[in-house]
Amino acid sequence: MLRFGRPNVEKLEGKRDVVRLTRVLASGSQVELRVEALRALIRLGEQDLVIGALGDGSAEVRAEAARALGQSDDVRAELPLVSALHDDDWHVRTAAAEALGQLGDSEAEEPLLAEFEDSNSHVRAAVAEALGRLGDARAEDPLVRQLCDDDRLVRAKAAEALGQIGDQQAIGPLLAALSDDDAYVRESAARAVGCLRDAKAIEPLLALLTDSDFSVRAQAAESLGKVGDARALGPLVEALGDRRYDVCRMAARSLARLGWRPGCNEYGARYYLALHMIDRAVEMGSCVVKPLITVLLEDDSHSMRAAAARALGEIGDECAVGPLIACLNNAGVPEVVRIAAAEALGAIGDSSALRPLRTALLDHDAEVRDTAKQALAQINVRLGWPGATVRSGSR
């Protein structure tokens, strides 16, 4: 038991007072304080004390020590961490498995494989992840068996590990995992087959471009680019029209990898917006105004809608003024889109935007108000009214 009140661990660390920090760690104080002392010892490089903490009476301290040892590159930590795989607390076993994977010594493979028998799914998932880090093909068959585990996290981590190991013999089981009932597993399997770059994955990945889960669709789009088969071009172009920005962005990246050249249409506009190449979308001119308006009004992605607004402002076509006003004065539209709409209206400079911009001076969002004020000044200059007064909406 510590005397004289709660120790100031930060101050002790600053003084490099290892002796007193060790006393705090070994005391009967609150676990949070003891963990704080352990972290201080870790930062001070007291590796022997950290290894010793794997035998602490508190599971929280033992787990913290295991996590620290995984980032230490200290080969002496391997045997104590292997022993920690048999700890009574699953948090400690999980941390030990993760740490062994981070240390990267293939000697840890056999002890890790034995832990696939652990009753806790978090431990089994950590084992799968660690084996993927180690990258030894000898772990392939046990990992394939984990693709049938009852727990979704274990199946997902096993799929990812097989992708990291990169043995082509795993392609069959991974293709089967693309049909898993769980979206996270399908996403992980799609990532793994992308790492293998096997042409047999093309058709199953193309099917995932219409998956109900947008994360699965996005990963399928990315993996199709990695596989690099021209059969994916048409479906990836269609995926540019996906209502989720992540899917559109991954499709655009894969199309760029495959050497696709965009046309002057909605797909071309979405391609450049997804890659944040607004200047290129602007260069396409009036032919992309209608597609950009569609993105502005209908897309699910706030980023895409804001990018479309900025592009419309730079193109300067007055057909965009009405849709931009509709976004600006709609309180249900995200602020980032309304700010971009105000900027665009200022850039276009049409007088019909004056009243809506004045209304925006009373907006609840300060940045919308400021942007509207700047846009009004731009339009006044353009109309030859540089001295016109812009009434502030500040409250």
Confidence tier at 5 by pLDDT (50, 70, 90): low
379 in any annotated domain: yes
Residue percentage of the chain with pLDDT more than 70: 96
340 in any annotated domain: yes
148 in any annotated domain: no
Q: Higher model confidence: residue 395 or residue 157? A: 157
Burial of residue 87 (CB within 10 Å: 0-12, 13-18, 19+) is: buried
259-276 burial string, b = 16+ CB within 10 Å, else e? Answer: ebebeeebbbbbbbbbbe
* Res 100: pLDDT: 96
Asked whether the predicted pLDDT for residue 304 surpasses 90, the reply is no
Weakest mean pLDDT among 17-21, 82-86, 175-179, 252-256 = 17-21
79 in any annotated domain: no
Asked whether the predicted pLDDT for residue 2 surpasses 60, the reply is no
Say how many domains are in the chain.
Answer: 1
386 in any annotated domain: yes
* Res 388: pLDDT: 57
Contacts of 8 (CB under 8 A, 6+ apart): none
* Res 101: pLDDT: 95
Confidence tier at 393 by pLDDT (50, 70, 90): very low
* Res 161: pLDDT: 97
Confidence tier at 24 by pLDDT (50, 70, 90): confident
Q: Report pTM.
A: 0.79
391 in any annotated domain: yes
Contacts of 320 (CB under 8 A, 6+ apart): 289, 292, 293, 296, 312, 313, 344, 348
* Res 285: pLDDT: 86
* Res 386: pLDDT: 63
* Res 79: pLDDT: 93
* Res 391: pLDDT: 54
Q: Higher model confidence: residue 282 or residue 4? A: 282
* Res 356: pLDDT: 96
- Per-chain mean pLDDT for the chain: 91
Per residue, the 3-state secondary structure of the chain, as one string, reads CCCCCCCCHHHHHHCCCHHHHHHHHHCCCCHHHHHHHHHHHHHCCCHHHHHHHHHCCCHHHHHHHHHHHHCCCCHHHHHHHHHHCCCCCHHHHHHHHHHHHHHCCHHHHHHHHHHHHCCCHHHHHHHHHHHHHHCCHHHHHHHHHHCCCCCHHHHHHHHHHHHHHCCHHHHHHHHHHCCCCCHHHHHHHHHHHHHHCCHHHHHHHHHHCCCCCHHHHHHHHHHHHHHCCHHHHHHHHHHCCCCCHHHHHHHHHHHHHCCCCCCCCHHHHHHHHHCCCHHHHHHCHHHHHHHHHHHHHHCCCHHHHHHHHHHHHHHCCHHHHHHHHHHHCCCCCCHHHHHHHHHHHHHHCCHHHHHHHHHHCCCCCHHHHHHHHHHHHHHHHHCCCCCCCCCCCCC
pLDDT tens per residue across span 25-52: 888 768 888 888 888 898 998 889 989 9
What CATH number does the domain containing 394 carry?
1.25.10.10
Confidence tier at 214 by pLDDT (50, 70, 90): very high
352 in any annotated domain: yes
Residue percentage of the chain with pLDDT more than 90: 69
292 in any annotated domain: no
Burial of residue 127 (CB within 10 Å: 0-12, 13-18, 19+) is: buried
Asked whether the predicted pLDDT for residue 392 surpasses 70, the reply is no
* Res 3: pLDDT: 53
d(CA 79, CA 99): 12
| Closest C-alpha to 84, from 48, 49, 108 | 108
Q: Which domain holds residue 385?
A: 316-395
